[in-house]
Each structure stands twice: as C-alpha cells, then as structure tokens.
C-alpha cells in the first residue's frame, strides 16, 4: 500500500509539473517533450487504477501519434512564433473569460456529484469480475455514453479541419490545379483545328 501511494504521488507530481511546463516553456519543442512526459506519467496513473487498456492507448495513440505529430509540425514548419505572440495580450481578456467559465462549469459538475445522494451510482459503472478491462470499457462507451462518444469524435474532426485550415499557406508563383476551371472549359477554348499543308509541318 505504501509503494502504491508513493507511485501515485510521484506520477501525479510529475504529471502536474509537466503540464505547467507545457504552457510555460518558451521553446515549442520543449513544450511538446514535456507533453510526452505528462502522457507517460498519466499512463502510469491509469495502470495504478487497473485500467491497462487506457494506459496502452494513451502511450500508443497520444505519444506515438499525436505528440510526435505535434513535434513534427513544430520542427518542420517555418512558423514565426515571435509574430504569433505579438497579439497575445489583446486576446488575454477573452481567454481569461473562457477559462473562468470552464472552471465554474467543472466546479458545478463536481459539486453536483458530491452533493447528490446518488452520486456514487451515477459516477461509477458496475464492474464484473469475470470480464477484462477492454470489454468493460467498450460496453460502457458504446451503451451509456454513445452520444457523448460520437460528440467527442465530431469535436476532434472539427479540430483536425481547423488545424489544416490554419496551417494552409497561400504562396505566390505556385501553379495549382483548378478543377472548376477545367470542368467549365469549352471545346473552342481547348481544341484548335489547324490545317497543315504538305511540307510545312514541324
């Protein structure tokens, strides 16, 4: 029990410290590396809770794909971060307002669970001893929380489209294919009939 408590506090402390360094580091590459460290320690917390499947998904999907993709984008794209930080102060009031609203909502949810007499039955799903963690998690996600699961997928899809739109650049002098112009092109604009006399060809 002492070893489990020590591991919990160790993983929790490193996770919180890494999360703080993610938003406070000046170098974006360092921020991504601290994010990877936070993911690994969160996976350790999931292992302590007995959710091995979530721990493996966190390491394989988030560390192996998302965090590495962030690192690739930050290192390969020539982004001027000094220029991006110039308008930080003018968006500070809006960001602080959104953060306060989210904090109030989280406190309201936690307060409702703690004050509700049936809070334990609402927050916890029944666990069967003869089934593994993966099957239980899938049963809960695709039965009780199917609509929230689909909504989370739509949010991730919108976030992916937004990331593509934000990183898309319009460069001058680059010739691109315009499908609409090709489809609406008439025959007289594309075909020229030329009568070549004998001996006057190329």
3-state secondary structure the chain: CHHHHHHHHHHHHHHHHHHHHHHHCCCHHHHHHHHHHHHHHHHHHHHHCCCHHHHHHHHHHHHHHHHHHHHHHHHHCCCCHHHHHHHCHHHHHHHHHHHHHHHHHHHHHHHHHHHCCCHHHHHCCCCCCCCCHHHHHHHHHCCCCHHHHHHHHHHHHHHHHHHHHHHCCCCCCCCCCCHHHHHCCCHHHHCCCCCCCCCCCC
**What integer pLDDT is reported at residue 22 of this predicted model?**
86
CA angle (167 as vertex; 161, 169 as ends), nearest 5: 120
Handedness of CA 170, 174, 178, 184 (dihedral sign): positive
What fold characterizes domain 1-79? Answer: 1.20.120
**What integer pLDDT is reported at residue 155 of this predicted model?**
93
- The Cβ of residue 11 has, within 10 Å, a number of other Cβ atoms equal to 19
**What integer pLDDT is reported at residue 158 of this predicted model?**
92
Indicate the pLDDT class of residue 186, thresholds 50, 70 and 90: confident
Average pLDDT across the chain, whole number: 78
**What integer pLDDT is reported at residue 154 of this predicted model?**
94
Indicate the pLDDT class of residue 76, thresholds 50, 70 and 90: low
More confident residue, 100 or 86: 100
More confident residue, 18 or 51: 18
Task: Calculate mean pLDDT across residues 49-63.
Answer: 81
**What integer pLDDT is reported at residue 62 of this predicted model?**
79
Q: What is the pLDDT of residues 113-136, one digit of tens each?
A: 566 565 555 555 556 666 677 787
pTM above 0.75, yes or no: no
Lowest mean pLDDT among 10-24, 115-129, 183-197: 115-129
**What integer pLDDT is reported at residue 113 of this predicted model?**
58
**What integer pLDDT is reported at residue 54 of this predicted model?**
81
Q: What percent of the chain has pLDDT over 90?
A: 5
Q: Per mean pLDDT, which of 35-39, 87-91, 134-138, 194-198 is the most reliable?
A: 35-39
Lowest mean pLDDT among 16-20, 60-64, 109-113, 160-164: 109-113
């Amino acid at each position: 029990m002492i070893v489990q408590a020590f591991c919990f506090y160790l993983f929790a402390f490193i996770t919180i410290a890494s999360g703080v360094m993610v938003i406070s580091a000046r170098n974006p590459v360092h921020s991504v590396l601290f994010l990877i460290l936070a993911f690994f320690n969160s996976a350790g917390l999931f292992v302590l809770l007995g959710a091995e499947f979530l721990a493996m998904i966190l390491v394989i999907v988030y560390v192996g794909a998302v965090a590495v993709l962030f690192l690739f984008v930050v290192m390969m794209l020539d982004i001027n971060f000094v220029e991006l930080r110039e308008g930080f102060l003018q968006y500070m009031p809006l960001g602080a307002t959104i953060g306060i609203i989210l904090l109030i909502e989280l406190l309201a949810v936690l307060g409702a669970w703690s004050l509700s007499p049936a809070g334990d039955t609402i927050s916890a799903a029944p666990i069967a001893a003869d089934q593994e963690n993966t099957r239980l998690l899938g049963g809960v996600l695709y039965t009780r929380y199917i609509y929230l699961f689909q909504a989370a997928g739509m949010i991730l899809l919108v976030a992916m489209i937004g990331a593509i739109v934000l990183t898309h650049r319009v460069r001058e002098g680059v010739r691109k294919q315009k499908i609409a112009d090709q489809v609406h092109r008439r025959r007289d604009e594309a075909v020229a009939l030329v009568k070549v006399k004998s001996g006057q060809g190329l």
